[in-house]
A and B are shown apart, each in its own frame.
Chain A
């Protein structure tokens, strides 16, 4: 347990100190949702229909941008070897790294989605549920993203490979998340999003740890 907590706080500190590593996805997200209405023109009804789901696409791509360095740095500087030697299973340490990413990247993104959704013509009363749905959805994204980041850890500029591996797994949360953002079947979509998040949080660390063990050879 001590090892999990130590890994979690170390990664939180690393994400904060990594030269805007934590703020870059947030800036990317805000830039994307600011550009969307400019691209769609002055039609308010069109924006109200297409805008809030667009926030989900922007959030998914913002998470993708934060994945490339997640394990690559650990592999290159020898930190991965040390994680393998801990008495705590690698799966648990990978989970801690994912949780740190969710706290530092996911949480600000979800809360930034509130004002963004208002700017994209979402009704005010729907904003809290959009934030909750993104908190769940970002956990699902990060769970799937851990696997892609682990598989591509040994690849220079593995960003494209990560996107190819991970984007199919982003589809279910995007579908249910866009449904929440558009105000359709909110309860059912939230339940399914929670399912996606659980699935990602439980299976992601196991698959990622298996990939990392191979990389250590």
Chain B
């Protein structure tokens, strides 16, 4: 089983302070990597470095050539208040080269599809951001505290989406404070060493 994502001896500095170094792991199809650590341990920085937004101070992130592309769900939802939920999904389908999908139905927002995103609650906006993961199939999902703002129902939904993605051979790397339903294949503890 060849890895989709491999991280070699990664080290990240933010503002002159070393967050972590010599971090290595691999993830193949179906893997779910859980990233744990205290506030400021570098969970978000790790995810942003894997996504390519942040330049690591040492080490490298490699993707298998066959499985390119990733989705990133950060603290910000990437949602515009003036635009309807349906228009968001249409935009993401265009941006990520997906096909017209049932993403809104799968995250339970079909009733709010035509509403501008500014009237959505925080949890509903988070569900809309989850719909982005479904707007185009991409093998790697990077999720930064994905359950933030979600109710119990929403957390079940999130666990279901992660399980479905893993069954299809996808990889999930998620920064979490408490476990969600899906069982991780590996847990990285940042700042523990």
Contacts and interface: CB of A to CB of B under 8 A. Distances in A.
Interface stretch (A13-21, A105-113, A193-201): A13-21
Interface stretch (A42-50, A74-82, A129-137): A74-82
A2 B99 CA distance: 11
Contact of A84 (B52, B71, B76, B93): B52
A6 B91 contact: yes
Nearest to A88: B95
A210 interface: no
A77 B83 contact: no
A61 B77 CA distance: 33
A78 B94 contact: no
B132 A82 contact: yes
A216 B96 CA distance: 19
Interface in B70-129: 70-72, 74-80, 82-83, 87, 90-97
Nearest to A84: B53
B87 A13 contact: yes
Q: Is the interface of A mostly helix, strand, loop or mixed?
A: helix
Contact of A87 (B54, B69, B76): B69
Contacts of B83: 10, 13-14, 17
Interface residues of A, number: 25
A77 B97 CA distance: 22
Contacts, number: 75
Interface in B51-76: 51-55, 69-72, 74-76
Given A13-B87, A217-B55, A79 B78 contact: yes
Nearest to B77: A78
Residue from A79, A82, A87 whose CB has the most chain B CB atoms within 10 Å: A82
A85 B71 contact: yes
Interface of A: 2-3, 5-7, 10, 13-14, 17-18, 73, 76-79, 81-88, 216-217
Interface of B: 48, 51-55, 69-72, 74-80, 82-83, 87, 90-97, 132
